[in-house]
């Protein structure tokens, strides 16, 4: 009986320590990548704000089937790809934000064009916002997001810089 009580107290103490440690981890993580583009590359946002054109530049979308669920001004702004719901929530001449939802917690991915008055190039910045609940496994998962999404974002920016994978 003495060992069972010690085991229960040890498990409770361990879970309490894990909960305290994960409470110190951030509840929001932003993964960001950027690339410089030549002058006149403002049209790169046309690849982003039309989900039907993602197959030309977004890594892995060239082989997936896009299910159109909403259009606006002739562009697909809502779609489903492999059980992931995509919805463009902001689209203007310098920012496109897409909500990616699989399950209950959405992820917001944004592409921003940054213009410089003293340069002949623009910078496109891609960043993804992740929001976590208090659950320890979600907070710990946030520690590896940069390594898992960073290379995918870099490849997407490289494809946009080169004018799209499928060459329009």
The larger pLDDT score, comparing residue 39 to residue 60, is at 60
72-108: buried (b, 16+ CB within 10 Å) or exposed (e) per residue?
A: eeeebbbbbbeeebbbbeebeeeebbbeeeeeeebbb
Task: Please provide the CATH number assigned to the domain covering 27-161.
Answer: 3.30.530.20
Which of 42, 43, 62 is CA-nearest to residue 156?
Answer: 62
Which residue shows structure tokens 């583009």?
37
Which residue shows structure tokens 């590896």?
144
Domain boundaries in the chain?
A: 27-161
Q: How confident is the model at residue 167 (pLDDT cuts 50, 70, 90)?
A: very low
pTM of the model: 0.76
């Amino acid at each position: 009986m003495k060992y069972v009580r010690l085991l229960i107290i040890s498990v409770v103490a361990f879970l309490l320590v894990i909960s305290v440690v994960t409470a110190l981890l951030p509840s929001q993580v932003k993964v960001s990548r950027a690339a410089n583009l030549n002058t006149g590359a403002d049209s790169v946002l046309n690849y982003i704000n039309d989900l039907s054109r993602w197959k030309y530049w977004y890594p892995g979308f060239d082989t997936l089937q896009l299910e159109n669920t909403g259009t606006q001004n002739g562009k697909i702004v809502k779609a489903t790809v492999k059980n992931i719901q995509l919805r463009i929530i902001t689209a203007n001449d310098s920012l496109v934000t897409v909500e990616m939802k699989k399950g209950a917690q959405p992820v917001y991915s944004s592409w921003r064009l940054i213009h410089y008055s003293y340069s002949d190039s623009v910078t496109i910045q891609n960043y993804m916002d992740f929001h976590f609940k208090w659950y320890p496994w979600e907070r710990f998962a946030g520690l590896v997001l940069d390594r898992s999404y960073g290379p995918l974002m870099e490849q997407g920016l490289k494809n946009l810089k080169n004018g799209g994978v499928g060459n329009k």
